[in-house]
Amino acid sequence: QTHRITNMRGLINVGTHCAVNSVLQCLYVTDDFRIADSTVASELTSVLRAMDRNTRGMPPCDPHPLVDALIRYSEMTHEVQQDADTVFKCVLNALADDGDPRCKQASGLWTIRKQQSAKCSTCNAECVSHHAATNVIVYIGENKPNKLQDYVDDYSESFRVSDYHCGTCQEETELIVTTDITELPAVLCFTVARGQRCVQRGELMVNTSAFDAPQELDCSRMSVTSQPTKYELYGMITHTGPYEFGHYAAFVKKKSKWYFVDGDVVKHCPALPLSYYNVPAHLYMLMYRRLHNVNISWM
Ligand SMILES: [Zn+2]
């Protein structure tokens, strides 16, 4: 039995829990992700603690009470397959709303801070605003890089609005919007935008373009901060099948070993399992943790 072979515990999948299960496996291996009691938070705590009791032969854990708590908290239902990105955001929002500072702190591990400037191209009147995000969306397909490092090196959220009426100079002119990332988080999550509208059929299709994710990522060109910008990949959620009712599974790194976790099935993986199971065509969410500057002692 596969759940007997490793020090990771699988999670029961009754058919629609795979999105929740995949997110849970990523949260489980996230360092510093510790939370206190509340509805979603307490069920999350229980299941993460149960996942920690992972000696050989333990049966898979039951995520059901957490799924029920998420349903009570949000618009989620049992009937349809949830989107892993929606589940992830729902968990972070529930923790941020919790009131307990430790939950807020846990949720904040993923917070990206941004400053946006909207400037009139005629009179230079500028409006500055601040925003936060929990992930970076990666657009794939034609004319887009197929490597995450290239995507990050070239990353920009700037755009121009051509039919803009400026309230200051009263001109019909152009608005230049630029966004700077002012703070990179401890954990950087990327979500690959695989759902794309099919022009002929009008429905959402999954784009299975292969996408390469490096073990180590340098985000120095992405942000204007002086924080450390080197990140290490430790979690991947894959999506296979059609857009609305596909299947999610996770690859997670725990104590420098990679595991493939699909419901109650846990398998040990080779170093970086990108070349297995056609993973680059199915990568959906990627979790990178910041590498701190480590002083190596030769004593
Ligand atoms: Zn103006």
Q: Does residue 130 form part of some domain?
A: yes
Name the residue with higher pLDDT: 274 or 263: 263
- Is residue 83 assigned to a domain? yes
Average pLDDT over every residue of 96-113: 88
Q: Cβ distance 165 to 172 under 8 Å?
A: yes
Write out the residue range of the structural domain in which residue 153 sits.
Answer: 2-290
What was the pLDDT predicted at 200?
78
**Does residue 35 register a pLDDT over 70?**
no
Taking residue 127's Cβ as centre, other Cβ atoms within 10 Å add up to: 13
Model confidence band, residue 37 (pLDDT cutoffs 50, 70, 90): very low
Report which of 72, 56, 55 is spatially closest to residue 64, judged by C-alpha positions. 72
pLDDT attached to residue 167? 92
Residue 297 covered by a domain: no
Q: What span, in angstroms and rounded, lies between the C-alpha atoms of 278 and 15?
A: 22
Spacing, Cα 53 to ligand 1 middle (Å): 62
- Within a domain: 38: yes
Ligand 1 centre to CA of 169 (Å) is: 4
More confident residue, 235 or 7: 235
Mean pLDDT of all residues in 261-271: 86
- Beta-carbon-side half-sphere exposure of residue 225 (alpha carbons within 13 Å): 16
Is position 295 within any domain?
A: no
Contact criterion met (CB below 8 Å) for 47 and 66: yes
Q: How far apart are CA 97 and CA 107, in angstroms?
A: 9
User: Looking at the domain assignment, is residue 279 inside a domain?
Assistant: yes
Residue range 184-195: mean pLDDT, rounded = 93
Distance 113 CA to ligand 1 centre (A): 27
What is the β-pairing status of strands 230-240 and 216-218?
Answer: antiparallel
Here the CATH number for the domain that contains residue 105 is 3.90.70.10
Assigned domain for 299 exists: no
Instruction: Note whether 103 and 41 are within 8 A (CB).
Output: yes
State in Å: Cα 174 to ligand 1 middle.
9
Residue with the bigger pLDDT between 6 and 228: it is 228
Please give the distance, rounded to the nearest whole angstrom, from the Cα atom of residue 173 to the centre of ligand 1.
7
Q: How confident is the model at residue 17 (pLDDT cuts 50, 70, 90)?
A: confident
Residues with CB under 5 A from ligand 1 (ion): 120, 122-123, 125, 166, 168-169
User: Closest by alpha carbon to 38, among 89, 112, 93?
Assistant: 93
- As for how many domains the chain has, the answer is 1
Res. 296 pLDDT band, cuts 50 70 90: very low
DSSP string covering 60-89, please?
Answer: PB--HHHHHHHHHHSS--SSSPPPHHHHHH
**Confidence check: pLDDT of 298 > 50:** no
- At 52-79, the pLDDT tens digits run 888 888 889 989 888 888 888 887 776 6
CA of 171 to the centre of ligand 1 (A): 6
| pLDDT attached to residue 293 | 53
Mean pLDDT, all residues of the chain: 85
The predicted model scores a pTM of 0.83
d(CA 279, CA 272): 11
- Could you tell me if 12 and 63 are in contact, meaning their C-beta atoms sit under 8 angstroms apart? yes
Pairwise CA distance, residues 117 & 234, whole Å: 33
Q: 181, 135 in Cβ contact below 8 A?
A: no
CA of 176 to the centre of ligand 1 (A): 11
pLDDT reported for residue 115: 94
Kindly state whether residue 298 falls inside one of the protein's structural domains.
Answer: no
Q: Is pLDDT at 51 greater than 70 in this prediction?
A: yes
Which amino acid is present at 276? Y
Q: What is the pLDDT of residues 200-258, one digit of tens each?
A: 777 888 888 888 999 999 999 998 888 889 999 999 999 998 887 789 999 999 888 89
Top-confidence residue, 160 or 295: 160
Query: Does residue 3 register a pLDDT over 80?
Result: no
- Using N-to-C axis directions, what is the helix angle for 84-96 and 101-108, rounded to 10°? 140
Quick one: which of 28, 92, 60 has its CA closest to 263? 60
Q: What is the pLDDT of residues 136-178, one digit of tens each?
A: 999 998 888 899 999 999 998 999 999 999 999 999 999 999 9
Reply yes or no on whether the pLDDT at 273 is more than 70.
no
DSSP state of 146: S
**Measuring CA to CA, how many Å separate 225 from each of 18, 47, 150?**
36, 36, 19
Report CA(126)–ligand 1 centroid distance (Å): 9
* φ/ψ bin of 237: left (φ > 0), alpha (ψ from -120 to 50), beta (otherwise): beta
